[in-house]
Amino acid sequence: MVKPCQRIVPIIIRSVREGTYGDESHLYRPRLNRDYILSTVEKIAPASSSLSSAIERAGTLLQSGATDQIEGYRARFETLEGMYERVFESLIRTDFSSESCHETAKRFFGTDRVSFAAVDGTDYARPLFDLVVFFGGSYAARGTITYPQKSPPRVEYEDHFLKSGRALSSCVPVYVNEVPEIDQSFIQPGEVSEISLTRPLTDEAIANNSTVANWIMTFSEFYLAYRLSREEDGPRILLLDRSLATMLASLIYDTSRRKLWKSNGALVGLEVDDVPIDINDLAYARHHLDNPALDLPPPRGDYLRYRCLLEIERAGFLTSADLYSKLRIKEDDRQKRVERFLGKLIKEGFLEESAGTYTLRERYNKTWPRIRKLVETYGRRMFEEKPKQNPLQVMKNGDLHWLTTQDLSFLTLFTLDLLVEECWKKRILLLGLTKDTAARDFKNHVLPVMVSNRLWRSDLSQEQLSRIPNTDRMLLQTLSVFNHESIHVPWSLIEYDSSFLMIVPDFEKRAGFVGGAIRNKITPERLFLKSYIQLSQTAYDPQLRSNVLLLDRLVYPDFDFRPDTTTKFAHSYGSADEPVQPIIFKDNHVKNPIQELVMITLGSMTSNSVPELFGHNKPLFIADKVAKWHNEEMRKIIDTTGKWLMNNPKLRHFVFYMSTFRERRSEIEGARRDNI
C-alpha cells in the first residue's frame, strides 16, 4: 500500500521547484521558506529513485559530459590556429619522387622488383567445462611490388591465400585452476611470486582476464615474420600491424623482474645442446641487438655492461685499455664505470680475468646461437609440428612444466631481436604500422627537447603546448584538416628516433643536456625511427581525409646514420655524463631516401574504393581478414568440441557437473526461447 507521504512528496517537491507552493492561490498558509521545505520533504522521500529516474539521470550526465567534451575540443582546436606556419611547415614532408624512389629501391634492394609480406594476428579464449581453451595465430598476405622509373609502383597480390598463404597458430587447452600459474598477470606486483588475492578468481573472470591467448598470438606474429625473413627467396618488405619500438620497450619491461625468472618460468634450467639455460643467458640475450655500424648497444647507461660483453666476445680477449679504445671512452668518470661493470661481470660469472685481460667464459660464447635454437625449437613445437603433448608444456629434469607468460615474453623478445638481425643482414625493409594510438611523445618529448636546446625555433610556451589536442595523432589530424590547402596528401612528419619516447628536457635546464623520463633511463637510440603519415583524401572534399597512422621502421646505417641526421646530447646518469646520439631528420630539407621509398610504397598499397581500407594498408587489411576468418573457424571447432563432449555417452552422468551454472542457465534459456 502506498503511504500518503509517498503520494504527496513528489507533488510538493515539484510545486516548490516551480515556485507555485506558498503563493496566494495555494491551500497552505503561511508561506514557508522554499529551501526549508525542499530539505525537509527530501528527508522523508524514498531513499531510492525509480528506474526511469535513474535512466533520466544517466542521460543527463552523458549529455553534460559530451557537451563538455565538445567545448574542450573546440578550445583545443582554437589553439592550433597559425601553428602550421609557426612550427610544422618545416616538419611535414609532402614531396615524394617516383624517380628518386626507383633509385633508392635499386640501391637498397639491389633490384626494382621485390616481394612483400604483411603479418597480422588473432586470438580467442573460451571456457569449456573445466578447461579454458586458448587460441592464437598469425597470417601473412603476400605479393610483389615493382618500382618503375617515372611512374607509381605496381602492386600484385598472391591469389588463393587461404590455401597457399603462410599461417601459424596454436590451440592450448588448460585446466582453469592452472591458468593463474601460467598467466603472470594474476601474480601480485612486486618481487614475489604469489597469486594476487585482490582479483576475483572465478572461472569466468580467469577466462576473460587471462593474457595467455594474446601472448600466443604475439609470439606467433613475430615468429612468422622471422620465419619469412629466413626463407631463401623470402620477402624484402615486412609489414607488421603494431609499433616495433613500443613492442620492444614493452617486452624489455615484461622481462625485467630478474628475481622471478627462475621461480615464475620454465626457461631457466631448460637444456639446449645439452647445456641448461641459466639466468646469465637470459640477461645477456635480452639486449643482444648487435650492430657495430650503428654503435649498438650504446656504450652508456645500463647497456654498457652488455656492450662490454659483446666487444670481448667479438675480440676473444681484451684489456681495460682496449675496451676504452673500442668504446671511444676517454673521460675518467666513464672509464671508472667500465671498471665497475667489469668487476660485476666477473662476480656474476660472465667473465674471467687473468693478468688484466678479460675473456668471456666458454659457456657464454655460444649463448646467442643457443637462444636462436631455443626460439626455433619451441616456435616449431608450438605452431608447426604435429602436437605430441600440450604445446605450452616442456620437459625439464624429467618432469613436465608449463611455459608461463613470462617465458612467452622472453621468447617473443628474442624472436624480435632475431628478426631485426635478419633484416640488417639481408636488407629487409621492416615496417610497423599502427592504426589507433594514444602516443604523445612528439608533443611532450620531441618538441620540448628540440626547442629547449635551440635546435628548433618556436614561440610556443609549455602552457600553449598543454592546450593543444592530447595525442600526436589528433594534433596532426587536426592540422591536416585545417591546413588542407597547404598540406597535400600523402604527407609524412619528419622521422625521429624512437628513443625520444624516454628523452625529456634536462631536469636542471642545462643547455645540451637531456634527462630520462622514467628513473632517468633512456632506451637505446639508433634502432627504430618513428613518424606519422596520412595517405588518402576523397576526390570531392579535400578536407575529408584518412586517419593519421603511426609508422616506425628499422634504422639502416648506410642510409640513416649520417652527420646531418645525428644530434648529440649529454645525459647525467649515475656518476658520469654520457653522450646520447639519437637520429632525427631536423626538417623536411634533410634528404631521407628511405622515408621516400616507404611513403611511395605505402601510398601504392592503399585504396579509396574499399571504405574500411580508406587510407590504410591493403596487405595488412587482407591479413586481418584472413585472421578473422580463421578465428571464426576456430570458434566453431571449439564450440563443436563442447557439444560433442556434452553428447558423449561416456560422460552422460558427469556433464551436468562439468558445465558451469551460467552455461546451464544459458542452455535452458535458449531452449525456452526456441519453444516459444
pLDDT of the residue at 191 = 47
Do 596 and 354 touch, CB atoms closer than 8 A? no
pLDDT at 418 over 90: yes
pLDDT of the residue at 363 = 92
Q: Which of 641, 607, 639, 523 is nearest to 573 (CA)?
A: 523
| Cα–Cα distance measured from residue 339 to residue 359, given in angstroms and rounded to the nearest whole number | 14
- Per-residue confidence band for 1, with pLDDT thresholds at 50, 70 and 90: very low
In the chain, % of residues over pLDDT 90: 54
| Cα–Cα distance measured from residue 277 to residue 310, given in angstroms and rounded to the nearest whole number | 19
pLDDT of the residue at 198 = 52
- Per-residue confidence band for 61, with pLDDT thresholds at 50, 70 and 90: confident
| Structure-model confidence comparison of residues 231 and 642, the more confident one | 231
pLDDT of the residue at 522 = 94
Lowest pLDDT segment from 29-38, 366-375, 613-622: 29-38
pLDDT of the residue at 103 = 95
Mean pLDDT in residue range 283-303? 93
- Per-residue confidence band for 610, with pLDDT thresholds at 50, 70 and 90: confident
CA distance readout (Å), 248 to 196, 412, 499: 27, 9, 11
In the chain, % of residues over pLDDT 70: 80
pLDDT at 252 over 80: yes
Mean pLDDT in residue range 268-290? 94
Amino acid at 98: S
- Per-residue confidence band for 25, with pLDDT thresholds at 50, 70 and 90: very low
| Structure-model confidence comparison of residues 182 and 372, the more confident one | 372
Lowest pLDDT segment from 116-120, 366-370, 461-465, 608-612: 461-465
- Per-residue confidence band for 27, with pLDDT thresholds at 50, 70 and 90: very low
Q: Which of 232, 221, 28 is nearest to 136 (CA)?
A: 221
pLDDT at 390 over 80: yes
Mean pLDDT in residue range 35-48? 52
pLDDT at 92 over 50: yes
Do 166 and 117 touch, CB atoms closer than 8 A? yes
Q: Residue 667: which residues within 8 A CB-CB, separation 6 or more?
A: 659
Mean pLDDT in residue range 518-541? 92
| Cα–Cα distance measured from residue 177 to residue 414, given in angstroms and rounded to the nearest whole number | 29
Annotate 208-236 with three-state secondary structure. HHCCHHHHHHHHHHHHHHHHHHHCCCCCC
pLDDT at 309 over 90: yes
| Structure-model confidence comparison of residues 35 and 435, the more confident one | 435
Long-range CB contacts (within 8 A, 24+) of 297-303: 297/524, 298/524, 298/525, 298/526, 298/580, 298/581, 299/327, 299/328, 299/329, 300/571, 300/573, 300/578, 300/579, 300/580, 301/521, 301/522, 301/571, 301/573, 301/574, 301/578, 302/521, 303/524
Task: State whether the Cα torsion 491-497-501-503 is positive or negative.
Answer: negative
Average pLDDT, the chain: 84
pLDDT of the residue at 5 = 47
| Structure-model confidence comparison of residues 621 and 72, the more confident one | 621
Mean pLDDT in residue range 647-659? 59
> Nine-digit cell at 544?
575529408
pLDDT, one tens digit per residue, over 128-142 is 777 888 999 999 999
pLDDT of the residue at 646 = 64
Mean pLDDT in residue range 525-547? 92
pLDDT, one tens digit per residue, over 350-381 is 999 998 999 999 999 999 999 999 999 999 99
- Per-residue confidence band for 559, with pLDDT thresholds at 50, 70 and 90: very high
Do 224 and 217 touch, CB atoms closer than 8 A? no
pLDDT of the residue at 9 = 47
| Structure-model confidence comparison of residues 26 and 634, the more confident one | 634
| Structure-model confidence comparison of residues 424 and 657, the more confident one | 424
CA 140 to the chain's CA centroid? 19
Mean pLDDT in residue range 182-191? 68
CA 586 to the chain's CA centroid? 26
| Cα–Cα distance measured from residue 235 to residue 117, given in angstroms and rounded to the nearest whole number | 6
| Cα–Cα distance measured from residue 66 to residue 283, given in angstroms and rounded to the nearest whole number | 49
Cis-peptide into 30, omega within 30 deg: yes
pLDDT, one tens digit per residue, over 563-608 is 999 999 999 998 889 999 999 999 999 999 999 999 999 999 998 8
Q: Which of 41-45, 175-179, 488-492 has the highest mean pLDDT?
A: 488-492
> Nine-digit cell at 589?
630539407
Q: How many residues does the chain have?
A: 676
| Structure-model confidence comparison of residues 387 and 116, the more confident one | 116
Mean pLDDT in residue range 509-515? 93
